[in-house]
Every structure is written in structure tokens, then in C-alpha cells.
Amino acid sequence: MASSNSNSNSDLGPGVLERSARPVNAAISCVARIDLVTNDGDALTVTDLNTARSRWGPSQIESSAEQLLLYSELAGRLVPDKKVRLQFAVVTKAKCPTVAIHDVNFDPRRLNRTKRMVKQVWSAIQAKNFYPNPSPMNCPSCPFRSACRAWNGEEQPNRIEAK
């Protein structure tokens, strides 16, 4: 595991904010920016900090867990002798803001599924297989909006360039 900081346990004092880590010799190059890692003696707790308009329910926690699962693997490589706990800290932006901590259970099958999905997406990116996926949330700020709208539905779209 290479990282922007050294990998000694002393780096993982009471709290480490925004630690970057990247796998070494991985087929896929990605960088994780873990929001908060706390060293609780017997375990590392990896916390992903979020804001939301409303409280997170079980379905939001479940649908967001893949990122934390990937972080758990990276954290485990940084300090292999520690157990890794996962959680979301969600600040609800309302008239009376709240902070809620949501634990995420580690599921090795789901982690492996997530890694396989990333590998498939990366393979599609390398093969330049981009297909329009319009959405009201993403389209207004997407640099590919014009090219996406111009796609005529062919099996393999031409290479799409951002404008």
C-alpha cells in the first residue's frame, strides 16, 4: 500500500482526517480519500462524513455502503493487525441540524462484488464504451451533455468528447 503519508501506526493517532491511499500494483488505479480514521486501540474506525437534507434510513445506508467497504480494505492494508469498523456520520441540514452515526457491517461477498463491478466499469472505460445515462440530477452540470443528446442509439457510440 502506497500513500501520501507514511504507513506507521504513529500516523494513526486519535484521528486522521482526509488520508489518501492507493493500492500498489493494482490493475485499476484509484485514490481513496477517507474522511476520518480513528484508532480506538483494538480497532480502526473508518468514518465517511456526509450531509443530507433529511435523515438517512436503512435503504440509504445500504445503497451507500460500497464505498466504505472499499475503504475498509485499504485501511486494513495500512494497519493489518487491527480490526476495522465502518460507519457513516450524517449531518442533517434542517432547521435543527442533527448528527447521526450509522454503523455498516462488513460483508466480504459484497466487497468482492463491488470490486468486480469496478473492474467491469474500468474495462468498459478503457474500451471507450460510453452510453448515455441521462438523469435530472447529473445532466445540468455534465460536460458530455451535448454529445449525449447527439447520440443516435447506435450499438457503439462514437468516442464522446467533453465540451
Residues 90 and 122 in one domain: yes
Q: Kindly tell me if the per-residue pLDDT of 68 is higher than 70.
A: yes
DSSP code for 6: -
**Number of domains forming the structure of the chain:** 2
Whole-number average pLDDT of the chain:
78
DSSP code for 45: E
Residue 120 or 19, more confident: 120
pLDDT band at 104 (very low <50, low <70, confident <90, very high): very high
The pairs formed by 116-119 with CB atoms below 8 angstroms and a separation of 24 or more are 118/28, 118/30, 118/70, 119/27, 119/28
Residues 73 and 139 in one domain: no
Residues 69 and 144 in one domain: no
The pLDDT, as a whole number, for residue 145 is: 79
Average pLDDT score over residue span 41-60? 93
> Which cell goes with 156?
457503439
Residues 71 and 141 in one domain: no
Residues 71 and 93 in one domain: yes
pLDDT band at 132 (very low <50, low <70, confident <90, very high): confident
CATH assignment at residue 43 = 3.90.320.10
The pLDDT, as a whole number, for residue 29 is: 66
Residues 113 and 139 in one domain: no
19: nearest Cα among 44, 42, 51: 44
pLDDT band at 3 (very low <50, low <70, confident <90, very high): very low
40: nearest Cα among 5, 4, 16, 66: 16
| Other Cβ atoms within 10 Å of 113 Cβ, number | 13
Residues 80 and 148 in one domain: no
Sequence-distant (6+) residues with CB within 8 A of 163 are: 143, 144, 146, 147
Average pLDDT score over residue span 26-33? 68
> Which cell goes with 129?
464504451
Average pLDDT score over residue span 106-111? 94
Residues 74 and 142 in one domain: no
Residues 18 and 54 in one domain: yes
Full-model pTM = 0.67
Residues 66 and 118 in one domain: yes
74: nearest Cα among 21, 123, 116, 27: 21
Residues 121 and 162 in one domain: no
Tell how far CA 125 is from the center of its chain: 18
CB distance 114 to 141 below 8 Å:
no
The pLDDT, as a whole number, for residue 156 is: 58
Residue 114 or 137, more confident: 114
Residues 45 and 94 in one domain: yes
Average pLDDT score over residue span 35-50? 91
Range of the structural domain that residue 35 is part of: 2-127
The pLDDT, as a whole number, for residue 139 is: 81
Using DSSP, state whether 30 is helix, strand or coil. Answer: coil
